[in-house]
Amino acid sequence: MSTTNHDHHIYVLMGVSGSGKSVVAGEVAYRLKAAFLDGDFLHPRSNITKMASGEPLNDEDRKPWLQALNDAAFAMQRTNKVSLIVCSSLKKIYRDQLRDGNPNLSFIYLKGDFEVIESRLKARKGHFFKPQMLVTQFETLEAPQAEEKDVLVVDIDQSLEEVVASTIALINKGSAQ
């Protein structure tokens, strides 16, 4: 029995912190009646404990988490026409692990420059903005290159409504092919 349903697709919304992944995914999922998973919910206890103590995760820490997301993608695609997973996926090795063995998975890169994202983070109500965190995110980011043909790009230097509409248009275009 095949576990892959070619009519069903997983989209991983990726980008640095502050790019709007969760907000965009939530709104897109609502409008498309799609499944939605915030990837942070699948971190193992050891990662949560490490992050809570202020210690950053390393690539080795992320491996079981990325495997859990890969497994979740397979499960979600079996019963959902469109599924969205939020995961920053900053490095190519992370994206490779997420896409491993799943031809029905694509990424939607919410792309914005430092200044756009910094201004959004500073404007968040009730959110303590740490500028160094954003610097670190951009230093870690390995922006997708042309050889990653399964990465679609949405420019976030537009209103939330326009970002959501652009994301839906990309998903609908993919569904029509």
Q: Is residue 145 part of a domain?
A: yes
Check residue 92 and give its pLDDT: 97
Q: Is residue 2 part of a domain?
A: no
- Cβ atoms 108, 12 nearer than 8 A: yes
Residue 47 near residue 57, CB atoms below 8 Å: yes
Query: Does the pLDDT of residue 4 top 60, yes or no?
Result: no
What CATH number is given to the structural domain containing 33? 3.40.50.300
Q: Which two three-digit tokens encode residue 45?
A: 């206890």
Structural domain boundaries enclosing 99: 9-176
**53: pLDDT confidence band, cut at 50, 70 and 90?**
confident
Name the percent of the chain lying above pLDDT 70: 92
At 7, the pLDDT band (50, 70, 90 cuts) reads confident
With beta carbons less than 8 A apart as the criterion, state whether 175 and 42 touch: no
Longest dimension (CA), the chain: 50
Domain count along the chain: 1
* DSSP-derived pairing of the beta strands 82-86 and 105-111: unpaired
Residue 3 has pLDDT above 50, yes or no: no
CA atoms within 13 A on the CB side of 35: 20
Predicted structure pTM score: 0.91
How confident is the model over 83-138, as pLDDT tens digits? 999 999 999 999 999 999 999 999 999 999 999 999 888 887 665 667 778 888 99
Please say whether the beta carbons of 84 and 37 come within 8 A.
Answer: yes
Report if residue 3 sits inside a domain. Answer: no
